[in-house]
Structure 1
Amino acid sequence: MMYGLVNTNCEATIRLVVGNENSQRRVIDAVIDTGYTGFLSLPRQTIIALNLPWTGIERGTLGDGSEATFEVYAATVIWDGEYQSIPVNETETDPLVGMSLLYGYDLRIQAVEGGTVIIEAL
């Protein structure tokens, strides 16, 4: 089971440990975005700081319906106490956790500032 909180912008957030294959790690706070179908998005400066290896390019649909191209990198996250290798999309936004990372989990949000976010395996 994992816990997060609802921030002052009324966004459900979770703290994650993200790293590369050389065990370089960084703690990040990510917004949970149920409209994002990917695993995790990170800003370029975080990807550079972690020296994540590039794996390719992926097309995706944005919230407004337009299409975009994303650079994709390989990363490791600690998810529910386990190391998991995942693809990461480079974006110009704050880090986002998407539905692919949440797949197989129950997400509960107390939708008030400071509310609890609970992510539990199904």
Structure 2
Amino acid sequence: MAVLIHGVVDQNCEATVRLVVGNADTERQVVDAIIDTGFTGFLTLPHSVLSTLNLKPYSREEGTLADGSEVIFDVYSGFVIWDGAFRRIDINASDATPLAGMSLLYGYRVQFDTIEGGEVKIQAFHELNQNLQ
């Protein structure tokens, strides 16, 4: 049976998805992340969430923001419940609104209705192919 990840288009016309993020132990937190097709990483989270989850940075990487400026991000290793399973991902620290990037969405179809309250649907390609057979 196909698993769908659901989200909603918010009042700012941003496609959002609710995620459960955590560490390797038992700490978990729910966050609402904006789907950002211009972000090639997995996920950004504020330092406050990373601290609550007791995550520690393991590297740094350079990134280019939408305005063209270059920044250095601390990179953390964490978990997200994605498509019904725990998945280890890299998380970039950013004190802006959490962003779900293209690396998290890779291998999935994303559909959304671009109206306030519109539905966001994310489904794995392998599940789509099974439904067509």
Counterpart of 2:64 (choices 52, 61, 66) is 61
In proportion to residue count, which structure has more strand? 1
Match of 2:79? 76
Question: AA paired with 2:34?
Answer: V
Runs (5+) with no aligned partner, structure 2: 126-133
For 1:103 and 1:11, locate their aligned partners in 2 and report how far apart those are by CA, in whole Å.
19
Partner of 1:12: 15
Mapped partners of 1:62, 1:53: distance in 2: 23
**How many Å separate the matches in 1 of 2:26 and 2:55?**
11
Cα drift, residue 41 of structure 1: 0.1
Q: Does 1:21 align with 2:61?
A: no
Instruction: Give the percent of matched residue pairs that are identical in Structure 1 and Structure 2.
Output: 52
The offset of 1:63, in angstroms, is: 1.1
Unaligned runs of 5+ in 1: none
Higher alpha-carbon Rg: 2
Deviation at 1:105, TM superposition (A): 0.3
User: Please, what TM-score do these two structures have when normalized by structure 1?
Assistant: 0.97
Q: Give the superposed CA RMSD.
A: 0.7
Aligned to 2:107: 104
Moved over 3 A (4+): none
1:45 paired with 2:45, answer: no
User: 1:29: how far off?
Assistant: 0.7
1:53: Cα distance to partner? Answer: 2.3
59-68 vs 5-14, greater mean Cα deviation: 59-68
Matched residue, 1:94? 97
